[in-house]
């Protein structure tokens, strides 16, 4: 794929010209044609932005793509302003009814909701918000801690935090939190400024506080904070007790008197399940799995492999983490990861591939807004794929397959209380923007105690004072995003449950969902997928009853 830096002046001119023609158009047909041209222009621009960002993450030492990345970061507000003007034109089109017939309502809902989040008066505040977010990322990325007489990064340290030797994992845990405690004042300051600037943006746009604006920013058009509160209450009622039982089983299994914070990542004295084979063998097994799963997944995965659309191996200079993105002009998804020999490698082939598969199935929509849905819906595709591929886990884990499934299901259960705690914490913070850093930490402790009553920080001062949340990047960089994982998990569990009774039925529901892409809102997509909304009060009890029944049927003491 050839890269060239877009000429911003030309993009602006072309866009403005198309916009003028759109506004002056004499028929819906004419507007539809111009809309297609606008879409091409957006695809062209986003493709170059993706290429620059992907190449920058594959080799962070490459100065050329670093400069290109900066170019896109700097020009983001200019482009955002153009897109907003297009949405305004779309919303006030004389032919709105006909366009709605053709493209569906969701495009207009998305246009409407993004207008609620932007005004030129907040551009300087947005830059400030971005700058603070980058400051946080840089601070965490700079982390180096002493461990076993060596200097190491936090990702390198995390392997020791899962050690089967209690002393090792305790020391690693203390070293890890030591970094955050050592920079507590900076973490406090960055967050305090973020809360204030977001609150100021919300006030300028006419909102009481940042919460409502945050929901619009996430393009949530069919649920509100009261519904999310109801969801959290159900997690408290139905999931927290089950999670507590799982922690108790874990304690017995690894033979301790009391589980401390640093024991939680240690699941089995025999070690965590590990995928077998080299990265190339793991990918080959992935290809086998997707060729057996369905004709659609076979076509998708063969496309990814034959077009070299995955960069999976850990290399020097490569950025950490994993993601899925798209080169829209080429209708191609792309997967980035760092294989390291753990369960995470298989998660890439299920979770990230789930995202990529949906994108592949939605690649022919006429508007780019429908290539992906909103975030909570995106996570349904990825998380459900993790469950729908259970029948093939033997390929990766052999004799450890039951152990893998047990850990996977239990860790998904254990995630939910933490996920809603992060969400509740943010609601309280932004509803009370004048709290001091110490008051925020006290708030975290209260929320944490409610949802994770098993948490024992073993006298580590910074954590006992409520500093745990400062390691969670989403709280700084993507406010109110975290609940999306929880909502999607409730949907993914339903796919798990269905697939046990009727695999083909579950698969066809899943496929329909992926093909719908972003053409509907969250609750619309949930309905289309033939599953219950996670906001329905009676979803939790039977679903978690079934999961508990399964987990109880497993003899984990032998694992």
Residue ranges binding Zn ion (CB under 5 A): 382
153: tokens are: 């990064």
Q: Provide the minimum distance between the beta carbon of 324 and Zn ion in the complex, in angstroms, as a whole number.
A: 7
Q: For residues 141 and 404, is the Cβ–Cβ distance under 8 A?
A: no
The nearer residue to Zn ion, 382 or 389, going by C-beta atoms, is 382
The nearer residue to Zn ion, 51 or 353, going by C-beta atoms, is 353
Output the CA angle 292-548-414, nearest 5 degrees: 85
The nearer residue to Zn ion, 47 or 382, going by C-beta atoms, is 382
Angle between the N-to-C axes of helices 375-388 and 353-361, in degrees from 0 to 180, rounded to the nearest 10: 110
Phi and psi torsions of 151, nearest 5°: -85, 130
The nearer residue to Zn ion, 118 or 418, going by C-beta atoms, is 418
The nearer residue to Zn ion, 382 or 521, going by C-beta atoms, is 382
Q: What is the DSSP string of 110-127?
A: HHHHHHTT--GGGHHHHH
Phi and psi torsions of 466, nearest 5°: 95, 35
Q: Provide the minimum distance between the beta carbon of 556 and Zn ion in the complex, in angstroms, as a whole number.
A: 27
Buried b (16+ CB within 10 A) or exposed e, 101-138: ebbbebbbbbbbbbebbbeeebeebbebbeebbebbee
Q: Are strands 150-152 and 145-147 parallel, antiparallel or unpaired?
A: antiparallel
- Local structure of residue 479 (DSSP, 8 states): T
Q: Provide the minimum distance between the beta carbon of 496 and Zn ion in the complex, in angstroms, as a whole number.
A: 17
Q: Provide the minimum distance between the beta carbon of 479 and Zn ion in the complex, in angstroms, as a whole number.
A: 18
Interatomic CA distance for residues 528 and 558, integer angstroms: 41
The nearer residue to Zn ion, 50 or 382, going by C-beta atoms, is 382
The nearer residue to Zn ion, 173 or 301, going by C-beta atoms, is 301
459: tokens are: 């006298």
Phi and psi torsions of 352, nearest 5°: -65, -35
Q: What is the DSSP string of 54-79?
A: HHHHH-TT-HHHHHHHHHHHHHHHHH
Nearest partner of 544 among 473, 496, 509, judged by Cα? 496
Q: For residues 528 and 512, is the Cβ–Cβ distance under 8 A?
A: yes
Q: Provide the minimum distance between the beta carbon of 365 and Zn ion in the complex, in angstroms, as a whole number.
A: 20
Question: Exposure of 350 by Cβ count < 10 A (0-12 exposed, 13-18 middle, 19+ buried)?
Answer: buried
Q: Which residue is nearest to Zn ion (CB)?
A: 382
Q: Provide the minimum distance between the beta carbon of 382 and Zn ion in the complex, in angstroms, as a whole number.
A: 4
Q: Provide the minimum distance between the beta carbon of 378 and Zn ion in the complex, in angstroms, as a whole number.
A: 6
Interatomic CA distance for residues 102 and 90, integer angstroms: 13
The nearer residue to Zn ion, 392 or 481, going by C-beta atoms, is 481
Helix (H) or strand (E) holding 175: helix 166-182
The nearer residue to Zn ion, 43 or 382, going by C-beta atoms, is 382
The nearer residue to Zn ion, 297 or 382, going by C-beta atoms, is 382
Helix (H, G, I), strand (E, B) or coil at 487: helix
Long-range (24+ apart) CB contacts under 8 A made by 405-409 are: 406/551, 406/554, 406/556, 406/559, 407/267, 407/272, 407/273, 407/343, 408/343, 409/496, 409/547, 409/550, 409/551
- Local structure of residue 236 (DSSP, 8 states): I
Q: Provide the minimum distance between the beta carbon of 373 and Zn ion in the complex, in angstroms, as a whole number.
A: 12
The nearer residue to Zn ion, 345 or 448, going by C-beta atoms, is 345
* Partner residues linked to 313 by β-bridges: 339
Helix (H) or strand (E) holding 337: strand 332-339
Q: Provide the minimum distance between the beta carbon of 358 and Zn ion in the complex, in angstroms, as a whole number.
A: 11
The nearer residue to Zn ion, 250 or 377, going by C-beta atoms, is 377
Q: Provide the minimum distance between the beta carbon of 475 and Zn ion in the complex, in angstroms, as a whole number.
A: 18
The dihedral over CA atoms of 49, 54, 59, 60, expressed in degrees to the nearest 10, equals: 60
519: tokens are: 């053409």
The nearer residue to Zn ion, 163 or 382, going by C-beta atoms, is 382
The nearer residue to Zn ion, 289 or 353, going by C-beta atoms, is 353
Q: Provide the minimum distance between the beta carbon of 209 and Zn ion in the complex, in angstroms, as a whole number.
A: 28
């Amino acid at each position: 794929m050839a890269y060239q830096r877009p000429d911003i002046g030309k993009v602006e001119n072309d866009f403005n010209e198309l916009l003028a023609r759109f506004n002056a158009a004499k028929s819906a047909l004419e507007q539809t044609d111009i809309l297609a041209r606008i879409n091409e222009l957006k695809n062209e621009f986003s493709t170059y932005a993706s290429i620059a960002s992907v190449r920058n993450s594959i080799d962070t030492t490459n100065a050329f793509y670093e400069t290109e990345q900066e170019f896109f970061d700097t020009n983001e507000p200019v482009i955002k302003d153009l897109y907003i003007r297009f949405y305004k034109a779309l919303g006030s089109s004389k032919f709105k009814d006909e366009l709605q017939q053709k493209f569906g309502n969701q495009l207009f809902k998305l246009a409407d909701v993004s207008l609620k989040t932007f005004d030129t008066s907040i551009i300087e505040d947005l830059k400030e918000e971005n700058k603070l977010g980058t400051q946080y990322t840089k601070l965490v990325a700079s982390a180096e801690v002493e461990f076993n007489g060596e200097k190491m990064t936090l990702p390198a340290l995390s392997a020791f935090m899962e050690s089967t030797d209690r002393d090792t994992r305790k020391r690693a845990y203390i070293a890890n939190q030591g970094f955050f405690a050592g920079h507590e004042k900076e973490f406090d300051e960055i967050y305090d400024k973020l809360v204030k600037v977001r609150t100021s943006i919300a006030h300028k746009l006419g909102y009481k506080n940042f919460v409502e604006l945050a929901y619009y920013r996430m393009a949530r058009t069919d649920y509100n904070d009261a519904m999310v509160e109801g969801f959290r209450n159900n997690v408290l009622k139905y999931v927290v007790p089950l999670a507590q039982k799982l922690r108790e089983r874990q304690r017995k299994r690894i033979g301790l008197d009391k589980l401390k914070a640093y024991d939680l990542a240690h699941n089995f004295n025999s070690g965590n399940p590990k995928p077998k084979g080299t990265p190339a063998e793991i990918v080959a097994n992935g290809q086998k799995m997707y060729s057996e799963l369905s004709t659609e997944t076979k076509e998708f995965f063969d496309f990814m492999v034959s077009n070299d659309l995955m960069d999976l191996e850990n290399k020097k200079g490569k950025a950490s983490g994993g993601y899925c993105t798209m080169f829209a002009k080429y209708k191609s998804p792309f997967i980035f990861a760092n294989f390291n020999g753990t369960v995470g490698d298989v998660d890439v082939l299920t979770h990230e591939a789930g995202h990529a598969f949906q994108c592949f199935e939605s690649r022919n929509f006429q508007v780019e807004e429908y290539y992906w849905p909103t975030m909570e819906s995106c996570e349904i595709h990825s998380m459900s794929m993790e469950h729908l591929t259970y029948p093939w886990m033997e390929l990766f884990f052999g004799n450890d397959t039951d152990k893998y499934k047990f850990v996977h299901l239990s860790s998904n259960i254990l995630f939910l209380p933490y996920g809603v705690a992060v969400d509740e914490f943010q609601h309280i913070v932004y509803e009370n923007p004048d709290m001091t850093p110490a008051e925020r930490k006290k708030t975290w402790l209260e929320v944490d105690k409610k949802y994770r009553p098993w948490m024992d920080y073993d006298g580590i001062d910074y954590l006992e004072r409520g500093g745990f949340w400062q390691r969670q990047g989403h709280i700084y960089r993507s406010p109110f995003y975290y609940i999306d994982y929880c909502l999607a998990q409730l949907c993914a569990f339903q796919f798990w449950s269905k697939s046990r009774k009727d695999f083909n039925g579950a698969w066809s529901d899943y496929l329909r969902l992926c093909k719908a892409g972003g053409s509907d809102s969250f609750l619309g997509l949930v309905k289309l997928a033939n599953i219950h909304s996670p906001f329905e009060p009676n979803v939790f009890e039977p679903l978690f009853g079934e999961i508990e029944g399964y987990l109880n049927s497993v003899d984990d003491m032998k694992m």
